[in-house]
Every structure is written in C-alpha cells, then in structure tokens.
Amino acid sequence: MTIPRAEYPKPQFQRDEWINLNGTWTYEFDHGRSGMHEGKELFKSTGFGNNITVPFCPESKMSGVAHTDFIEAMWYHRKIDIPSEWTTKRIMLNFGAVDYEAEIFIDGKLAGIHFGGTVSFSIDVTDFVTPGKTSNLVVRVLDETKTGDQPLGKQSTQYKSQCCSYTRTTGIWQTVWLEAVGITGLKDCQIISDFDGAQFTFIPLFYGIKAGQRLQIMINEDEYTVATKTRAAADGIPISIPVENAKNWSPESPFLYDIVFEVFDTDGETVDIVNSYAGMRKVHIEGNQTFLNNKPIYQRLVLDQGFYPDGIWTAPTDEDLKKDIELSMAAGFNGARLHQKVFEERFHYWADKLGYLTWGESSSWGIEPDSIKGYRNFASEWNEIIVRDRNKPSIIAWTPFNETRTIKSAKLHKRAHIEIYNLTKSLDPTRPVNDASGYIHYKTDIWTIHLYERAKELDQKLEQAQKEEGAAHCIDEHKDKEVRYQGQPYILDEFGGIKWIHQDEEAFADNTWGYGNDVRSLEDFYNTLEAEIDVINKYPEMTGWCYTQLTDVEQEQNGIYTYDRKAKFDIDRIKSIFEKR
C-alpha cells in the first residue's frame, strides 16, 4: 500500500534510519471523555473498530472519516515494529503536529504528553519498546475548541463554518515517524548566518555527551566540501565556520549550502549523522526600511492560510506545498504572510529552495492575550515554534499575534505582548518581530495596519493619517490603546479581500462572503484592484503590503485562485498589477 505523505518531514534535520508511520490506523471517538476510566481504559487498546488515514485529520475527506462536528476527545491506535538492528540506538517517536493535547501510550504505559496543536514534538520511547518486537501505540487526543484557552487559528467555534473561520482540525494532522538516533547523538543545532562576516555559526545540543565525543560540521557546495571544522562536543557552545567566496541566499538566487553533522565517539566511531542545509543571508531594519542582504526590499506579500479542500490543514501531497508557492510567485508576490497557522516544515523547505519570503505566524486566534491560561498555552507553543523554524532562511519576520483589539484587562494584554516580543527576540534576535499584525502594538519592530476599504476610502484614510502625524501612521481607531508610531517600517499587511466568483462557478456555500460586494464584473475587479495598488504606491513611506488572499477558503471567496487552486483571473494581468512598484 502506498504511504501517504511518504517524504521525510524535517528536511533541515534529516537522518537515514527512519520509519514513516503514516497510513491506516484505527480510531475511536470519545465524546464522553471516559476512555481513561476504570473499566474502559482505552490506553491499553490493541486496536479500535474504525479506520482512519494518518496524517489527515478526521474532519477531512482524505482521512476517510470526514466527521465535521466537534470532537473533544478521540483515540488512535496502530502497531509499531521496531527493527532489531536498533538495539544500540535511542528510539524517537516523532509527531509533525497533533491538535491539541496528545498523550502517548506504548503497550498501556504513558510515554509522553504534549500541549500545542501546530508544532512538532518528539517522545523518547527507548525504554518502552523492544527492538525486534511489535508494540501497541495509542494516542489520546483532547481538543477543546470552545474553551477560549487554546490557540485555534481559523478553526470555527460554531458548528458551521462562517465568515473567516473554517472547518476544524482535530488530532494527528502531520506525519508520524520513528527514528533511530545515536544514544549521545545530536538533538538540535541552531544555525546563524553571518552575512557580513561570510560565515555560519552553529550552536549544538546533544542527547548526551561522553568523554572524547566530537562533532564534525561539513559545509558543502553542490558535491564539494568548502569548509569543515571538528570540535569537542559541548551543549550551547557556538562553532563559527568561515566560507570563502560565499554564495548568498536571495529571492533572485536562493542558494543553499548542504550541511552534514557527524558525531564521533572517543574511538572515532560514528555515533550520529544528520543532514541539513543553510542559506547565507541577513535581515535587518534601519529606520523605516527592511533590508535583505544590506539592500532595501519592498515586500509584496500575500495572505496564505494553508487550507486544502480535501485535507483541511494538511496538504494532500508534498507537491501541493510547492505548487502553492509557485502559484503565488506567478501572480506577482515575492512572499507570504503565513496566516493563523504554523505551516509544516516541508512548506518552509520549498520556500527556502524557491526563494520565497515568509512571515512566520502562530494560530493565536482562539485565546485572548489577557487570559492567564490561554496566554500560558500560547507562550509555550510559540517558544517551540521559534526553535523549530528559526534556521529557515526564507522566514524574514515573526508575527506572534493577529488583531488583538479585544481587551479585558489592559494590564495583562500589554504584558502579554511585551513578554512575547521579548521571548521571540531572546530565541531569535536575527529577525524583526511584528508583535501583533494589524493592531494593537505595544512593542514592535514593524508597524502594521489592516485596511479593507476600497481605493477612494483607503486614500482618504491614509492621507488623513499623514496630515495628522506628518508621516504614515496607524489609523486613529486604536491610538488610545497602543504606543505611538516610532518610525518603524510601515506595512499594510492586510488589504484587498475583494470577493469575486467567476460566472462559470457557484458560491461555495450559502454564506459565501468577502470584503465588500461592489465588484460586478471581471473588468471591474481588475480596475478595483489596480486602483488600490495605485493608492498604496502614492505613499513611498509604505515599505510593503499583504494582499488578502492567495486562494479561496471554503465560504471566503476572495482569493486570486479558487479553493482547488484554479486561476480565477488572467494571472499575467494580475501579476502586472501587483508588480507596478
């Protein structure tokens, strides 16, 4: 049987010894949440009565289940065979993502637990399995979407999808795999690109360190090794390696160096090998301008929500991830704001390969920053997101929150924004941070606003703000709540959203919508879009924008492409409009 999503899930940290666990699992819904109770004890299961295709969520068609009502709890089971040759290895069980709370049981014993629905995690199951034998893997999932205490992104809290909230995702929605790792192998390695110094700095972490253990790092250009260094293994100690005649990573030339990490023991025997890659590039801010490789960059971004008709949050194939980027670039965008979803690492890999700029965002909707429990859940997951993705050269900014205008406690609201900004900077000081997309800003490197007015009203708002402030500034709506603009890069990071359903198509749903209903013909759409771009281009202090959106998503039909990725317009004409500046 063909394994769905068979490709290795972490191309920037890849090992050869691994087993893809995607495919047919069994499952059982637990609407009464009684599976842990005495007499039921589903964690001891050797198989449930229903089949599901992993890594697709039970709400999706591709899972074979397509149950779109609320699922507060469910159980998964499959048998796992551990190769006998893994006897001397550390055995890791890896999950791309499980929404939201996951408890992992091996043969009825609790092996690990994880909170957070959008980020990868690993469980060391070495002490729970026996090489050469079969074990029962059971995953218990809790997904309380209506509590307000867990990040949801654009998952609807109503039974029916509506406005800009869509079908929910519960449980396993990314690849699950087993991996053999050296007992004292490499656990992680932060890669920092020093563009000005033409060198990479590596900060490794190990599963353990023995006397005499060493780490060798090789930097390869195509098939040739251009730099190498071997050091004593040590957690958190930076290793810098210069690269002569370094090739830079940029949208025009997205060159990636291949990196090989090899861990040796005191006898020179290989303990662990990990293959990775890196791009030599720099992102920084001077005044009101963002620079890439010391050159100003104008950001023509598109809002990408990463939903798929049959897979919901999960792309049907790896090729679909690549295709979305290619469709975006064909329409004139040089990057994307990855909106209210943490995209899988394979997407970032293709962005790195294709030279596609992105803003990394969380699925912050569903919690309020001034909710203590919600903030706690958000902060721990955001920490993991940054650590997982900070090596990706295509990510040029972080956006923890989106549209945080609802305030219950002003003090806690402000504290959450400032603390998350500081946390982000402590984990990754190499990128700018947009504390909250659109509003409300407390501490931010980028000043962003959301305006969905048509051209005339858009121009009036921007002109009035300019008159009042003497420079481009946030519209007055939130001035009483946020800090004042301090000259940061100024970006309209949501606009457009023009609803258009082609005459050959039907509305996706009875509640189909978009921003505004004033476009009556295809030509009217082109003229409306171009007029908005012309208004933005009137204001040279604006250093970028983000158009809503790349594709239709369910009832929100304001994409450049349909939900199933068909062009709604003459893409060459669309491209010429977006590239006017």
Is residue 332 a contact partner of residue 251, using CB atoms and an 8 Å limit? no
Phi, psi of 396 (to 5 degrees): -115, 0
Calculate mean pLDDT across residues 526-538. 96
Q: Summarize pLDDT for 84-142 with one digit per residue, the tens.
A: 999 999 999 999 999 999 999 999 999 999 999 999 999 999 999 999 999 999 999 99
Calculate mean pLDDT across residues 469-494. 77
Q: Summarize pLDDT for 178-202 with one digit per residue, the tens.
A: 999 999 999 999 999 999 999 999 9
Query: Which class for 162: exposed (0-12), middle (13-18), buried (19 or more C-beta within 10 A)?
Result: middle
Closest CA to 188 of 272, 128, 258, 91: 272
Is residue 22 a contact partner of residue 311, using CB atoms and an 8 Å limit? no
* Contact residues for 399 (Cβ-Cβ < 8 A; gap 6+): 337, 359, 360, 361, 362, 433, 434, 436, 437
Q: Nearest 5°: CA angle at 376, between 102 and 27? A: 15
Strand 542-548 and strand 299-304: the pairing is parallel
- Asked if the model's pLDDT at residue 390 lies above 70, the reply is yes
Is residue 343 a contact partner of residue 381, using CB atoms and an 8 Å limit? no
pLDDT tier at 409 (50, 70, 90 boundaries)?
confident
pLDDT tier at 477 (50, 70, 90 boundaries)?
low
- Asked if the model's pLDDT at residue 521 lies above 80, the reply is yes
Provide the token pair at 40.
């039921």
- Asked if the model's pLDDT at residue 473 lies above 60, the reply is no
Q: Summarize pLDDT for 251-274 with one digit per residue, the tens.
A: 999 999 999 999 999 999 999 999
* Residue 69 per-residue DSSP state: S
Is residue 156 a contact partner of residue 168, using CB atoms and an 8 Å limit? yes
Dist CA 430 CA 167 (whole Å): 35
Q: Summarize pLDDT for 66-90 with one digit per residue, the tens.
A: 999 999 999 999 999 999 999 999 9
Hey, what amino acid is at 518?
D
Dist CA 73 CA 455 (whole Å): 47
- Please count the residues of the chain: 581
Please tell me the predicted confidence (pLDDT) of residue 273: 98
Q: What's the topology of domain 196-278?
A: Immunoglobulin-like (2.60.40)
Please tell me the predicted confidence (pLDDT) of residue 516: 81
Please tell me the predicted confidence (pLDDT) of residue 472: 52
Largest CA distance in the chain: 75
Q: Summarize pLDDT for 216-249 with one digit per residue, the tens.
A: 999 999 989 999 999 999 999 999 999 999 999 9
Query: Which class for 455: exposed (0-12), middle (13-18), buried (19 or more C-beta within 10 A)?
Result: middle
Provide the residue ranges of all domains of the chain, joining segments of one domain with +: 18-181, 196-278, 283-578
Residue with tokens 């290793």: 239
Instruction: Please give the model's pTM, rounded to 2 decimal places.
Output: 0.97
Residue percentage of the chain with pLDDT more than 70: 98
Calculate mean pLDDT across residues 15-40. 97
Is residue 111 a contact partner of residue 93, using CB atoms and an 8 Å limit? yes
Judge: domain 18-181, CATH 3.40.309.10: no
Calculate mean pLDDT across residues 279-283. 98
Provide the token pair at 466.
């300019």
Is residue 14 a contact partner of residue 186, using CB atoms and an 8 Å limit? no
* CA 452 vs CA 14, 494, 496, 574: distances in Å: 43, 7, 6, 19
Judge: domain 283-578, CATH 3.20.20.70: no
